[in-house]
Amino acid sequence: MRRIEIFDTTLRDGEQSPGVALNSDEKLQIARQLAKLGVNVLEAGFPISSPGDFQGVRRIAQEVRTLSVAALARANAKDIECAWDAISVGESPRIHTFLATSPIHMLYKLQKSPEEVLELAIQAVRLAKLKVGDVEFSAEDASRSEVDFLAKVFSGVIKAGATVLNIPDTVGYATPEEYAAFLRAVMERTTGIEKVKVSVHCHNDLGLAVANSLAAVGVGVHQLECTVNGIGERAGNAALEELVMALHTRRDQYDVDTSIVTTEIARTSQLVSRLSGMVIQHNKAIVGKNAFAHESGIHQDGMLKDRSTYEIMLPSDIGIDAETIVLGKHSGRHAVHQRLTDLGLDLGESQFEEVFSQFKILADRKREVTTADLFSLVDLKTETEDQIRLDYMQVSSGTHLTPTATVGLLYNGQRLEDATCGDGPVDAAFKAIDKVLGTEGKLMHYSLQAIDGGEDAQGEVTVTVKFGDNMVGGRGVSTDIIEASVLGYLQAVNRAFDRGWIKIIEKNAS
């Protein structure tokens, strides 16, 4: 059976989703999980876009060595040098350079003639090829480009040394039948096409990203670009889990397979959702909360008689365990350790002790500690030591009350405290933190989700905060949502402080 390669761009295109800001620890954590998931190529970022992105890509290239790590670069020398600097430490690096080829993009965005674009594309690939053997060239907005021109550009870059040609539907405009015919025409007219891999990258503006990618499989492409949970620019990219499970479940139709370990899908999806703050809609295919829930009596009756009546996949195919071992306040060190090991979370001794003490605190506040709760405890422990910590908080709000918050923080061996009011309890608490520290954060994005259901579920808050010109993300988890919000905000403050983006004015020491 033919094997198709999965090129994951969660950390590049996905990270460009509005409201998403991952730090380099979080990116590395996702990259490690993508390696476990079995993706073939991991696009780690766009190094020229910021020093933070550069560092993030470099760290991934250095530490994740079982797959190919790609970095994006526009078709110019500066971008290509920078991308190469970031990934050259990797095991099998790939430079991914791109240039628009559609009449609209060439005329309005690039303001270049087709001849100039052809020349620039060839030069870029030639330059990248001097650095590394594996060079991918993307024709941005390919699906709205003219077939003959595109074939000419592709023939040129193949001669210059490109190893992968990407034919993206950048704006999500294509339909499956049309896209398949277009790909066929371009491939037929490109000289040397048999020497390279062909890739597609589809956006979901019309909800057709997965359908278009599957149509491309029928044409014989070699690589599919996608993101976990389908996150990405605007309506996002083709969802990795949907593509993989469609190919897996309907092998009879597509006759290809992938190297994806499908039982890692649920875990990867949850990790990306948690760290990115992009909540998964309940009815999302494959990984939504309801994807395997059968509500109606007729369906439940059928399921009890035989699962195959209404179920085309099993939850266990994507790594959802049927039986959940319940952990609670009476669970001991051994049970918790065993559960973490079963989940593939091998912690060092001191890290385990920290997680276990957090577990005890949580188990006092919550009847059942679920798998998702355990993951959230472990995630939080991967953070570096915070300089500014929460000592206490007190918030009051009500129907006819002005919300007021008092916050005590520990910094530099001292307790700093102050109080203020706000538009709501969360706003008041954030303002109180800013007042204590003398900082001025602007909240750009706030999301709250429950970790597993139930009335005593933990709330997880993800925030993106702007300090001056810099955006930074933070996450907090607690059974109290105001406390979760405060912890999330404080994490953002700590990260901004670590990077020297804010200074703390100590004035209210007590």
Site residues, Zn ion (CB under 5 A): 13
> With respect to Zn ion, which residue has the nearer C-beta, 34 or 374?
34
11 or 433: whose CB is closer to Zn ion?
A: 11
Strand partners, 388: 411
Structure tokens at 495: 């990260």
Q: Which amino acid is at 368?
A: E
| Closer residue to Zn ion, CB minimum distance, 137 or 352 | 137
Rounded to whole angstroms, the Cα distance separating 128 from 148 reads 25
Q: Which of 389, 353, 506 is closest to 437 using CA atoms?
A: 506
Nearer to Zn ion by Cβ, of 13 and 136: the residue is 13
In this complex, which beta carbon is closest to Zn ion, that of residue 13 or of residue 53? Answer: 13
Tokens of 510: 């007590």
Nearest residue relative to Zn ion (C-beta): 13
Distance between CA atoms of residues 363 and 425, nearest Å: 26
Q: Closest approach of Cβ 254 to Zn ion, in Å?
A: 23
**223 or 458, CB closer to Zn ion?**
223
d(CA 431, CA 423): 10
Closest approach of Zn ion to the CB of residue 174, in Å: 13
- Number of helical (H) and strand (E) elements in the chain, helices listed first: 17, 16
CB-count exposure of residue 122 (10 Å: 0-12, 13-18, 19+): buried
Nearest-approach distance from CB 13 to Zn ion, in angstroms: 4
Percent helix, strand and coil across the chain, each to the nearest 5: 45, 20, 35
CB of 403 to Zn ion, least distance (A): 41
Minimum distance from CB of 16 to Zn ion (Å)? 8
> What's the token pair of residue 106?
């060439």
The residue (of 13 and 242) whose beta carbon lies closer to Zn ion is 13
Closest distance of CB 203 from Zn ion, Å: 6
For tokens 């956006």, name the residue.
Answer: 203
Identity of residue 215: A
**Least distance to Zn ion from the beta carbon of 11, Å?**
13
Using the Cα atoms of residue 371, residue 376, residue 377 and residue 378 in order, give the sign of their dihedral.
positive
- What is the sign, positive or negative, of the torsion defined by CA atoms of 418, 422, 428, 431? negative
